[in-house]
Chain A
């Protein structure tokens, strides 16, 4: 991870000599700054999503008529009706709509990666994420009481939108911000958004049926269908581990998520500990509860929430000032100046 000191839209020149022939200053290889690096990781995830959309199953009627329409189940009619209409439309024009979805998501990825269009890409990604959260994820099960952070609720797409907001390329605070996510919106708002997100995950962990002794076991066991043998093995063993212990596991998870949520308000070392804990929980849930985004089932439309939560945690990590200074110094030494 690079420092965000030194930079502006930003890159630091490393490992290059400005006097090199044939390569002018703006042609030298440069390392993106911290925020730009996170933007590029976000763009990479969008590109994965866009290409995942090109899997054969999404060009069939079942994508719209079963997968999309199925999201309306249990939702209020005002939410469910547009989902059903969209599912029907997508199902009857599967090739056109799915190709369009792939183009939009790939376009978002390219727009974020292409510096002149980064704001357009991030803005479109927010609008797209809100639409997909409603139509494609049925609001993540928030309104029908089935949201469970173990399997990605309340929806990965909302984290895409949150990341787009936090990584917006403007500097409300400047480079003195304590962490990358604070640069665009300021530290108080960034911390508030973190609290709301992780606090809601904690709340959903002990919501409704998630408190039953068997629900966690059933959720994990059901996810082994269609997975490779080793993923199914992990599921089987994880499911047997939590068998009849669903309530206690979810209560512990809810407490840990609360610690993560409030951790950003603690001093630096403790805040980093909470952020690291959040990243670790996201990784465990991604492997066990989300089966690595179900990428091996040929039916995944995205990578699910695990990688996005880890990316978010990286945006809240507080870097040492001496590290920033060190990078700046090495950039000056090696690059003969900064862009």
Chain B
């Protein structure tokens, strides 16, 4: 039994929107010299593109094997980022104090692992072959590991809910508005640019930099990503 194609289409459209937004966010952050979690934005681009392709096969740009490699690398990256935090929790303390810095890394590690699970457990779909979702209920050996996707679902939905709770408190303050105004004035005139020595991660964020780029939109993209991924995992239980 497969899910309705219109429903998969809606979720796929949401994923394309998140991927496009995250790409635009990266560009704007670079252009306006605004801090952002670049590794998270890159992760959202990759996950959004991959999930859109899983939901609507015609949107799948590359083979499943390539995605498995991509998400293995992404998972390794977030494991490294978690290790960095554990080793020194004060590393890069600065602008991203609107998020819990360890849980942000952990949840993206979970998301990368969940993507990996979906590609490993799903029946590979042909690139560009039209039709509905290339995934289905777990069968055979996969059925013995259904606790794993269930744990992913719980983590993802909890993250989405905590993000909704947090998003209401991310209204721009007067100070932040001033900084935004500075950025929009002569671009690059007075705003110090975050250093580029660590892939735009926390280490690149220093005091005196402009306000965080669109934190509520960032949180909104994360919520949509978590819900969509949870939906896909539930279909695989």
Residues of A within 8 A of B (CB): 15-17, 20-24, 26-30, 32, 36, 40-41, 43-44, 47-48, 51-52, 54-57, 59-60, 95, 99, 109-110, 113-116, 228-230, 292, 295-296, 298
Instruction: Report the nearest A residue to B206, measured CB to CB.
Output: A21
Q: Is the CB of B210 within 8 A of A22?
A: yes
Partner of A23, one of B95, B158, B161: B95
Q: Is the CB of B215 within 8 A of A48?
A: no
Residues of B within 8 A of A (CB): 1-4, 7, 35, 89, 93-101, 137-138, 143-144, 146, 150, 153-154, 157-158, 160-162, 164-171, 173, 175-176, 179, 207-212, 215, 227, 230-231, 234-235, 237
B151 to chain A, nearest CB (A): 11
A17 to chain B, nearest CB (A): 7
Instruction: List residues of chain A with CB within 8 A of the CB of B237.
Output: 295-296, 298
Instruction: List residues of chain B with CB within 8 A of the CB of A51.
Output: 157, 227, 230-231, 234
Q: Is the CB of B212 within 8 A of A29?
A: no
Known: A27-B170, A32-B165. A48 touches B94 (CB 8 A): no
Question: How many angstroms from the CA of A60 to the CA of B2 in the assembled complex?
Answer: 11
Question: How many angstroms from the CA of A76 to the CA of B86 in the assembled complex?
Answer: 61
Instruction: Report the nearest A residue to B174, measured CB to CB.
Output: A24
Partner of B1, one of A15, A54, A56: A56
Instruction: List residues of chain B with CB within 8 A of the CB of A57.
Output: 1
Known: A21-B207, A48-B157, A228-B143. A29 touches B100 (CB 8 A): yes
Q: Is the CB of A21 within 8 A of B208?
A: yes
| 10 closest Cβ pairs, A-B complex | A24-B173, A113-B164, A56-B1, A228-B143, A23-B97, A22-B211, A27-B98, A16-B97, A113-B161, A44-B161
Q: Is the CB of B162 within 8 A of A26?
A: no
Question: How many angstroms from the CA of A298 to the CA of B175 in the assembled complex?
Answer: 50
Question: How many angstroms from the CA of A95 to the CA of B5 in the assembled complex?
Answer: 12
Known: A22-B210, A48-B157, A56-B2. A29 touches B99 (CB 8 A): yes
28 contacts between A and B (CB under 8 A): A15-B89, A20-B94, A20-B207, A22-B209, A23-B95, A23-B97, A27-B97, A27-B169, A27-B170, A28-B97, A28-B98, A29-B101, A40-B161, A44-B154, A47-B157, A47-B227, A48-B154, A55-B3, A55-B235, A56-B1, A56-B3, A59-B4, A114-B168, A115-B168, A292-B150, A295-B150, A295-B237, A296-B150
Instruction: List residues of chain A with CB within 8 A of the CB of B97.
Output: 16-17, 20, 23, 27-29
Question: How many angstroms from the CA of A229 to the CA of B166 in the assembled complex?
Answer: 40
Question: How many angstroms from the CA of A32 to the CA of B207 in the assembled complex?
Answer: 27
Question: How many angstroms from the CA of A29 to the CA of B218 in the assembled complex?
Answer: 15
Identify whether the interface residues of A are mostly helix, strand, loop, or mixed: helix
A327 to chain B, nearest CB (A): 16
Partner of B171, one of A26, A30, A55, A113: A26
Known: A28-B97, A56-B3, A59-B4. A48 touches B153 (CB 8 A): yes
Q: Is the CB of B173 within 8 A of A27?
A: yes
Partner of A47, one of B1, B2, B161, B207: B161
Instruction: Report the nearest B residue to A230, measured CB to CB.
Output: B144
Instruction: List residues of chain B with CB within 8 A of the CB of A17.
Output: 93, 97
Instruction: Report the nearest B residue to A29, measured CB to CB.
Output: B100
Partner of B176, one of A22, A55, A99: A22
Instruction: List residues of chain A with CB within 8 A of the CB of B210.
Output: 22
Instruction: List residues of chain B with CB within 8 A of the CB of A114.
Output: 164-165, 167-168
Instruction: List residues of chain A with CB within 8 A of the CB of B35.
Output: 22
Q: Is the CB of B175 within 8 A of A228?
A: no
Question: How many angstroms from the CA of A52 to the CA of B234 in the assembled complex?
Answer: 7
Instruction: List residues of chain B with CB within 8 A of the CB of A230.
Output: 144
Instruction: List residues of chain A with CB within 8 A of the CB of B3.
Output: 54-56, 59
Question: How many angstroms from the CA of A310 to the CA of B158 in the assembled complex?
Answer: 16
Instruction: Report the nearest B residue to A36, measured CB to CB.
Output: B165
Question: How many angstroms from the CA of A109 to the CA of B164 in the assembled complex?
Answer: 10
Instruction: List residues of chain B with CB within 8 A of the CB of A23.
Output: 95-98, 212
A251 to chain B, nearest CB (A): 32
Q: Is the CB of B215 within 8 A of A27?
A: yes
Instruction: Report the nearest B residue to A48, measured CB to CB.
Output: B157
Instruction: Report the nearest A residue to B205, measured CB to CB.
Output: A22
Question: How many angstroms from the CA of A24 to the CA of B96 in the assembled complex?
Answer: 11
- Given A59-B4, A109-B161, A113-B165; 7 other pairs, CB 8 A cutoff: A22-B179, A22-B209, A23-B95, A40-B165, A48-B154, A55-B3, A298-B1
Instruction: List residues of chain A with CB within 8 A of the CB of B176.
Output: 22, 24, 27
Question: How many angstroms from the CA of A59 to the CA of B2 in the assembled complex?
Answer: 10
Known: A24-B176, A26-B173, A57-B1. A298 touches B137 (CB 8 A): yes
Question: How many angstroms from the CA of A198 to the CA of B43 in the assembled complex?
Answer: 46
Question: How many angstroms from the CA of A17 to the CA of B97 in the assembled complex?
Answer: 8
Q: Which of A17, A21, A29 has the most CB of B within 10 A?
A: A21
Instruction: List residues of chain B with CB within 8 A of the CB of A21.
Output: 94-95, 207-209
Q: Is the CB of A116 within 8 A of B168?
A: yes
Instruction: Report the nearest B residue to A52, measured CB to CB.
Output: B234
Q: Is the CB of A95 within 8 A of B154?
A: no
Question: How many angstroms from the CA of A292 to the CA of B235 in the assembled complex?
Answer: 16
A101 to chain B, nearest CB (A): 13
